[in-house]
Amino acid sequence: MKRNKLREALDLLRHALEVKYRFIVHYPRLTRMMPDQELASKLEILGRDSIRHADIVSRTISRLGGTAPVPTVDLLPEPLDFKDFFRKQLELEKLALWLHTKASESVGEELAPSLREIAEQERWHIRLTEEIISRLG
């Protein structure tokens, strides 16, 4: 892989990981706080997928010879407005889709399939997050 492509791939993947880290720690708490049990179950899936995606991206960064960023976490506002939270989450899901798609174009065919799979799951996360927002009223 050429140096410029490698740098681009690592930058995209680090950014994708930073996006995942922003809210990943909050999923268990949000799941417990969610007033609707069906939505709580969907949120649990989002959290589980996000952890798995972060692990795959972190390993991909390592395989490319890079170092994963140190996790940073956004604090949950008090009081928490679920709808506002999920609007922000929707934007992050869209950003993650773009980042994984672009990174899959930069990493080479050995690593691209797992990133394309994550991108496809991000499309589903976008739809799921939109559903959560609409159901929150």
Domain residue extents for the chain: 3-135
Task: Dig out the tokens for 105 from the structure.
Answer: 């174009």
Give the residue among 54, 32, 50, 53 at the shortest CA–CA distance from 41: 32
Whether 57 and 104 have beta carbons less than 8 Å apart is answered as no
pLDDT in tens, 28-79: 999 999 989 999 999 999 999 999 999 999 999 999 999 999 888 888 888 9
Q: Quote the radius of gyration of the chain (alpha carbons, Å).
A: 15
Whether 130 and 87 have beta carbons less than 8 Å apart is answered as no
The CATH number, out of the four listed (3.40.50.10860, 1.10.10.10, 1.20.1260.10, 2.40.320.10), of the domain defined by the range 3-135: 1.20.1260.10
Distance, in Å, from the CA atom of 68 to the CA atom of 71, rounded to the nearest integer, reads: 9
Distance, in Å, from the CA atom of 100 to the CA atom of 38, rounded to the nearest integer, reads: 28
pLDDT in tens, 90-137: 999 999 999 999 999 999 899 999 999 999 999 999 999 999 999 987
Burial class for 11, CB neighbours closer than 10 Å (0-12, 13-18, 19+): middle
Q: Name the pTM for this structure.
A: 0.91
